[in-house]
Amino acid sequence: MANNSGRSCYAVSRIEVPRYADEIAEAVAKKLAVDYKPRPRLDRDARLSAMAMPTVAVSVDASITAALKIPGARDISAKYREGERLTVLEGCHYLQPTIVRCDSREHPLADKEYLFPCATVVQAPNVDSFANLGPTLSLAVYTNDATLKAMARDSHARLVSKQAHIGSRSHPAARGRPIQIALEATELRRMSSVALRGE
């Protein structure tokens, strides 16, 4: 999602889960807000790139702000980020990571892609997720369910990454209940890279 500041062709734009969508959205938003924030250009810890065209940054921010006024979507990142989504630092325009929790995939933001770390989180049954997948370049599936892995393999996605065994990993946000999604951005980048290399 945040690899290359969200400007990779395989960057995550929607996370669909069968349960715990609120907890997952909160965890991902918090992690991105801490790790990807505007920093001075010469700061060695900088991980978020400025937008090359300030007018695009302003337009994208306005588009998201307008879509958030439509009921059924909440900007989860707003409470975790420092400042506004659109931030100017040293004359450069940055769009800070944005995780939006959509009540359904019918919300206009649930099917949008942006050139910065921005994704929606939607809760839906797994079978519905595959039935309504739509066109996609890449698909990452984090599950131990052999049926879901087969559905991913048979999907029309060009790049498919199926998560290897993840055991019964629990995340504190899920209150000790097992969830089958990787929350660590580094693991997501690793899985995407594996898919790109065709391994």
Instruction: Give the model confidence (pLDDT) of 5-39 as tens digits.
Output: 555 555 678 888 888 999 999 999 999 898 889 99
* Phi, then psi, of 66 in degrees rounded to 5: -65, -40
Distance CA 76, CA 98 (A): 7
Using CB atoms within 10 A of its CB, is residue 150 exposed (0-12), middle (13-18) or buried (19+)?
A: exposed
40: left (phi over 0), alpha (psi -120 to 50) or beta: beta
Condensed to tens digits (0 to 9), the pLDDT of residues 115-137 reads 788 899 999 887 777 777 666 66
Best CA proximity match to 60, nearest among 121, 4, 115: 115
* 168 pLDDT higher than 90: no
pLDDT at 5: 54
Q: What is the CATH number of the domain that holds 10?
A: 3.40.309.10
Helix axes 21-35, 185-197, angle to 10 degrees: 90
Q: Are strands 159-162 and 73-75 parallel, antiparallel or unpaired?
A: unpaired
Find the domain containing 14 and state its range: 3-197
* Phi, then psi, of 123 in degrees rounded to 5: -100, 125
pLDDT at 152: 75
Condensed to tens digits (0 to 9), the pLDDT of residues 169-193 reads 434 443 333 333 333 333 333 333 2
Q: Residue 37 CA to chain centroid, in angstroms?
A: 16
| Three-state DSSP state, 18 | coil
Average pLDDT over residues 41-69: 93
Q: Which two tokens stand for residue 36?
A: 């990807």
Average pLDDT for the chain: 75
pLDDT at 76: 97
pLDDT at 6: 56
* Phi, then psi, of 77 in degrees rounded to 5: -70, -25
Per the document, the length of the chain is 199
Total structural domains within the chain: 1
Condensed to tens digits (0 to 9), the pLDDT of residues 67-113 reads 999 999 999 999 999 999 999 999 999 999 999 999 998 999 988 88
| Three-state DSSP state, 6 | helix
Laid out side by side, the sheet with 118-123 consists of 14-17, 118-123, 98-102, 73-75
pTM assigned to the model: 0.75
